[in-house]
A and B are shown apart, each in its own frame.
Chain A
Amino acid sequence: MSAFSATKLRSPSLASPRSPSSKPSFPSSSLRFPLRAVSSDVLTSSAASLAASHPVISRDEGLDLYEDMVLGRSFEDMCAQMYYRGKMFGFVHLYNGQEAVSTGFIRLLEKKDSVISTYRDHVHALSKGVPARQVMAELFGKTGGCCRGQGGSMHMFSAEHGVLGGFAFIGEGIPIATGAAFSSRYRREVLKEQTHDDVTIAFFGDGTCNNGQFFECLNMAALWKLPIIFVVENNLWAIGMSHLRATSDPEIWKKGPAFGIPGVHVDGMDVLKVREVAKEAIARARSGEGPTLVECETYRFRGHSLADPDELRKPDEKAHYAARDPITAFKKYIFEHNLATESELKAIDKKIDDVVEEAVEFADKSPLPPRTQLLENVFADPKGFGIGPDGTYRCEDPGFTQGTAQV
């Protein structure tokens, strides 16, 4: 049974139109009819809920998923605390509520695979394996950060763990992801690395799906059958702009088949459903069948960023999704299927608390970048700064390593 057919296309408890707070200004009749994934690549066998009587995951898998989601949640909560204590600055966008998407997809990937995200990237980095201490130090702007303090909240990179960013402008990361997928295909076919089957996942939001780069990359990925998965984290809001007010056809999954890509909608508050869809999409990519577009219905419990007063979203909408908290739901699932006991889960909670505390300590102790770091990493080859008036390369100027050279 294809996982695609197993997804429900709309949560039954949510009446349409989706957001009670704003109605589209023209009839959106499509919202009232039952929906199905329509790509011909998708099997149309009967939909079945995955919350079936037998678990679809092993105990170890379950614990791994649980731990990853709790790490994401605790880390983000700590970020909020640290921000209000003045340890980090600027724009900080928290992922609370969306953990099922990151965990559901990224825990299935291997280290060599690539993940590209947006500014809401802390948890993607954590799920991919970047140590919490490096992410926290990066947020504090310290040299121990994964980007030496030069990136910040919106630019998490890790060459070791395959995290290719972290981008401040929405949509910017999608072409990068397409390029990483192109590299993968190139290595296999041109460089003849037969076993090379790296997969790339691009995460982005509902607002991005109205941006040209999204459509341009869907086209190119389909054209060249690139090993990429486009994951839309549709949390219904782009800062204060409701998805329904910004989008002529709000069903993003439908835009995949327009390019010949299977499009799937999944309940992004349910980590197991996300995981089932992810498995299939990743298998498609690895086997060379090409890209997939996955729309995850999800929700951010906090504002767009820590500076967002979050006044537009109605309390009942927030309450509706708070009741579908992915961690609470998964915990319930674990108990129902006897995958672990309460005390085991509490032990994991405690372990994660320790990890996050340690991350803060590490970040606190990590040194601030000195002036000498200023001119490093601008160019891979610092001779790119050119030759100074005295005839020597600027990077050979003693002031260069002090950060005081004129460039």
Chain B
Amino acid sequence: MAGALQAATAALLSSTPLKTYGSYRLRLGSAPRSLAGRKGSFLVVRSDAGFGSGSNARTRPGKLIPNAVATKPDASSSSTSSKPGHELLLFEALREGLDEEMARDPRVCVMGEDVGHYGGSYKVTKGLADKYGDLRVLDTPIAENSFTGMGIGAAMTGLRPVVEGMNMGFLLLAFNQISNNCGMLHYTSGGQFTIPIVIRGPGGVGRQLGAEHSQRLESYFQSIPGLQMVACSTPYNAKGLMKAAIRSENSSCALRALYLLFGGGGDGAPGEHVTILTYSRMRYHVMQAAKTLVNKGYDPEVIDIRSLKPFDLYTIGNSIKKHTPRLQSAIIKEFWDYLDAPIKCLSSQDVPTPYAGTLEDCTVVQPAEIVKAVEDLCK
């Protein structure tokens, strides 16, 4: 399990014992070890039908990409919550987590643009303002830096705010407060003030939202000390991570994809040939690629790391992977002796995301690229 957040997630979600929830392992074949990986960048659904408006993450169990090796009969229900048979879409899962935490602790409050009467731009807070009132689900003016700072000040004085950025890119405007105060004040105050704030927001490439709305800023936040960061990828882990982040005494940044494919993937046994690290939306690309690889005779192990800061080096180490350049250097440092081949990192192109759909696709890692990278590594 990664950090405390991951462990807490597992604890909060399971009424029955779960298999490794810290990171997924999905067995999809068998072969010797090597590495491939990709970086979080979000994807456009092309190959799968039925994606209506596309601005919400959707998971439809009926159209799951089946695991190549189904290890559990209920593996396809990873989109569900802790109650068996309780199916949710991702934003509903986030809302459920938030609602439960708000009911449990009156100090938990939400602040952000359009979270109250509008119910949230992505409907994560729908109905909560009616239930808890306008002060607990606070509609803020458009002033990210200031209302994030306000959330930090409220956290320092005893509340547990959840600040919602309408888009991860908008959090850039709050970067002053997030970097200087959120991550730092516990330290510069010598431990006198805790800042149990959760800053959350969707981000990454959506569906032709243009460059400014499609930014992948995880690495900016990763360089802030004192801040934990997680990325959810399924409704199941979304709810758990939301609850764990709210209960954590540390400041957390909880990111989610603007656009998620369906297909879950349950737990599985480790693969032998290659480890693919992924998170958030790329998980679904990787699953597709993995399917192809299995058909070609490879045995990839896919791990959805979910915790971006701190990295779960233990689970990762057990499989040896690398995910982003940052993770790459951490892995090289720790596991150099165990690597059979150089680490390969597949990440989004270093260009602003263009509006045109075809160009947008090119900036994002596609399953075919993943397959090729694995094949190259395993030669």
Chain A residues packing against B (C-beta within 8 Å): 114, 116, 145-152, 155, 157-159, 164-169, 172, 174-187, 189-191, 212-213, 216-217, 219-220, 223, 376-381, 383-391, 393-394, 407
Chain B residues touching A, range: 35 or more
Q: In whole angstroms, what is the CA distance A16 to B309 when docked?
A: 56
> Which parts of B177-198 form the interface with A (CB within 8 Å)?
177, 180-181, 185-196
By the criterion CB–CB under 8 Å, are B107 and A191 in contact? yes
Judge whether B143 is part of the interface by a CB distance below 8 angstroms: yes
Judge whether B152 is part of the interface by a CB distance below 8 angstroms: yes
Chain B contacts for A386, CB-based, 8 A:
2-3, 307, 309-313
Mask, B215-231, CB within 8 Å of A = 1, is 00000000001101000
What is the distance, in angstroms, from B177's C-beta to the closest C-beta of chain A? 6
Q: Which residue of B lies closest to A395 (CB)?
A: B4
Q: In whole angstroms, what is the CA distance A393 to B228 when docked?
A: 15
Q: In whole angstroms, what is the CA distance A295 to B183 when docked?
A: 32
Chain A contacts for B156, CB-based, 8 A:
164, 176, 179-180
Contact partner of B146 (CB less than 8 A), chosen from A187, A213, A379, A387, is: A213
What are 22 contact pairs spanning A and B, CB under 8 A? A148-B191, A155-B189, A168-B180, A176-B150, A176-B181, A177-B153, A178-B153, A182-B159, A213-B146, A220-B143, A377-B187, A378-B187, A380-B250, A381-B4, A384-B250, A386-B307, A386-B313, A387-B1, A387-B3, A389-B313, A390-B314, A391-B314
By the criterion CB–CB under 8 Å, are A377 and B109 in contact? no
Judge whether B145 is part of the interface by a CB distance below 8 angstroms: yes
Chain A contacts for B317, CB-based, 8 A:
389
Q: In whole angstroms, what is the CA distance A189 to B250 when docked?
A: 26
Q: In whole angstroms, what is the CA distance A213 to B146 when docked?
A: 6
Contact partner of B149 (CB less than 8 A), chosen from A147, A179, A391, is: A179
Q: 6 nearest interchain CB pairs?
A: A179-B153, A175-B149, A386-B310, A383-B4, A148-B190, A147-B190
What is the distance, in angstroms, from B247's C-beta to the closest C-beta of chain A? 10
Chain A contacts for B347, CB-based, 8 A:
none
- Quick check: which of B70-78, B132-140, B260-268, B271-279 contacts chain A, the rest being far away? B132-140
Given A150-B188, A380-B196, A381-B248; A190-B136 close (CB under 8 Å): yes
Chain A contacts for B109, CB-based, 8 A:
186, 190
By the criterion CB–CB under 8 Å, are B158 and A183 in contact? yes
By the criterion CB–CB under 8 Å, are A150 and B149 in contact? no
What is the distance, in angstroms, from B252's C-beta to the closest C-beta of chain A? 9
By the criterion CB–CB under 8 Å, are B143 and A151 in contact? no
> Which parts of B234-257 form the interface with A (CB within 8 Å)?
248-250
Q: Which residue of B lies closest to A168 (CB)?
A: B180
By the criterion CB–CB under 8 Å, are A175 and B226 in contact? no
By the criterion CB–CB under 8 Å, are A172 and B313 in contact? no
By the criterion CB–CB under 8 Å, are A183 and B159 in contact? yes
What is the distance, in angstroms, from A268's C-beta to the closest C-beta of chain B? 25
Q: In whole angstroms, what is the CA distance A227 to B102 when docked?
A: 25
Judge whether B368 is part of the interface by a CB distance below 8 angstroms: no
By the criterion CB–CB under 8 Å, are A179 and B4 in contact? no
By the criterion CB–CB under 8 Å, are B146 and A149 in contact? no
Contact partner of A146 (CB less than 8 A), chosen from B3, B190, B315, is: B190
> Which parts of B69-96 form the interface with A (CB within 8 Å)?
none
By the criterion CB–CB under 8 Å, are B153 and A377 in contact? no
By the criterion CB–CB under 8 Å, are B146 and A377 in contact? no
Given A172-B177, A220-B143, A387-B2; A179-B190 close (CB under 8 Å): no
Given contacts A213-B149, A216-B143, A407-B310, 14 further A-B contacts (CB under 8 A): A150-B189, A157-B192, A167-B181, A180-B153, A183-B154, A185-B135, A377-B187, A377-B190, A381-B4, A381-B248, A384-B4, A384-B310, A385-B310, A386-B3
By the criterion CB–CB under 8 Å, are B191 and A179 in contact? no
Q: In whole angstroms, what is the CA distance A384 to B227 when docked?
A: 8
What is the distance, in angstroms, from A357's C-beta to the closest C-beta of chain B? 25
By the criterion CB–CB under 8 Å, are B153 and A175 in contact? yes
Q: In whole angstroms, what is the CA distance A175 to B150 when docked?
A: 5
What is the distance, in angstroms, from A130's C-beta to the closest C-beta of chain B? 11
What is the distance, in angstroms, from A332's C-beta to the closest C-beta of chain B? 40
By the criterion CB–CB under 8 Å, are A179 and B152 in contact? yes
What is the distance, in angstroms, from B113's C-beta to the closest C-beta of chain A? 12
What is the distance, in angstroms, from A128's C-beta to the closest C-beta of chain B? 14
Q: In whole angstroms, what is the CA distance A181 to B192 when docked?
A: 19
Q: In whole angstroms, what is the CA distance A243 to B149 when docked?
A: 26
Chain A contacts for B106, CB-based, 8 A:
190-191
Mask, B1-26, CB within 8 Å of A = 1, is 11111010000000000000000000
Q: In whole angstroms, what is the CA distance A180 to B195 when docked?
A: 12
By the criterion CB–CB under 8 Å, are A176 and B145 in contact? no
Given A383-B4, A388-B313; A220-B147 close (CB under 8 Å): yes
Given A187-B158, A384-B310; A172-B149 close (CB under 8 Å): yes
Chain A contacts for B133, CB-based, 8 A:
190
By the criterion CB–CB under 8 Å, are A150 and B190 in contact? yes
By the criterion CB–CB under 8 Å, are B152 and A151 in contact? no
Given A175-B148, A179-B154, A384-B310; A165-B189 close (CB under 8 Å): yes
Judge whether B293 is part of the interface by a CB distance below 8 angstroms: no
What is the distance, in angstroms, from A210's C-beta to the closest C-beta of chain B? 15
Chain B contacts for A390, CB-based, 8 A:
314
- Point out which of B150, B192, B315 has the most chain A C-beta atoms below 10 A from its C-beta: B150
Chain B contacts for A145, CB-based, 8 A:
190
Contact partner of A182 (CB less than 8 A), chosen from B150, B177, B180, is: B150
Q: Which residue of A lies closest to B252 (CB)?
A: A384
Q: In whole angstroms, what is the CA distance A340 to B137 when docked?
A: 54
By the criterion CB–CB under 8 Å, are B146 and A217 in contact? yes
Judge whether B115 is part of the interface by a CB distance below 8 angstroms: no
Chain B contacts for A389, CB-based, 8 A:
313-314, 317, 334-335
Q: In whole angstroms, what is the CA distance A144 to B152 when docked?
A: 26
What is the distance, in angstroms, from B200's C-beta to the closest C-beta of chain A? 17
What is the distance, in angstroms, from B11's C-beta to the closest C-beta of chain A? 13
Q: In whole angstroms, what is the CA distance A354 to B177 when docked?
A: 40
What is the distance, in angstroms, from B48's C-beta to the closest C-beta of chain A? 34
Chain B contacts for A166, CB-based, 8 A:
188
By the criterion CB–CB under 8 Å, are B153 and A183 in contact? yes
Given A179-B156, A183-B159, A389-B314; A151-B146 close (CB under 8 Å): no
Contact partner of A387 (CB less than 8 A), chosen from B192, B196, B310, is: B310
Q: Which residue of A lies closest to B315 (CB)?
A: A387
Q: Which residue of B lies closest to A181 (CB)?
A: B153
Chain B contacts for A189, CB-based, 8 A:
135
What is the distance, in angstroms, from B220's C-beta to the closest C-beta of chain A? 17
Q: In whole angstroms, what is the CA distance A190 to B102 when docked?
A: 12
Judge whether B141 is part of the interface by a CB distance below 8 angstroms: yes
Chain B contacts for A150, CB-based, 8 A:
187-190
